[in-house]
Amino acid sequence: MRDTEERINAVKREMDRLEADRRRRDKRIAYVLAAACLVLVIGVAAAMPGWIGQVPDISQGGNGVSASVFAGSPVLDYLVVGIFAFFLGATATIFCFRLAKRSEDEDRVS
């Protein structure tokens, strides 16, 4: 039969094991999300030249894009991909900082 100290140590070991499992799962999720973001940015960058070819040129009198500053410009694809990559990177950075802060807070509690 176990005494109280052995039970407490067994519970602490189990808590440590569960915490390590949760940290591994969180890291795995972060890596998968980062890979998905990278694939998404590369996919959009690869698809932009095809999309830009479908935009009618202003000089030909295309209706619907006459107010667009970038219509018919090769800069549009780089601009859109750059803005998209910036927001995606900012979101990933905020996610990583929150994940790190959460693990630091939990380390202080332990």
| Cα–Cα distance, 20 to 60 (Å, whole number) | 63
DSSP 70: S
65 contact partners, CB below 8 Å, separation of at least 6: 55, 56, 58, 71
Cβ neighbours for 85, distance < 8 A, ≥ 6 positions apart: 41
Task: Encode the chain (110 residues) as per-residue pLDDT tens digits.
Answer: 678 899 999 999 999 999 889 888 988 888 888 888 788 878 877 777 776 666 555 555 555 554 455 556 666 767 777 888 888 888 888 888 888 888 787 777 66
Q: What is the pLDDT of residue 18?
A: 93
- The residue ranges of every structural domain in the chain are 4-109
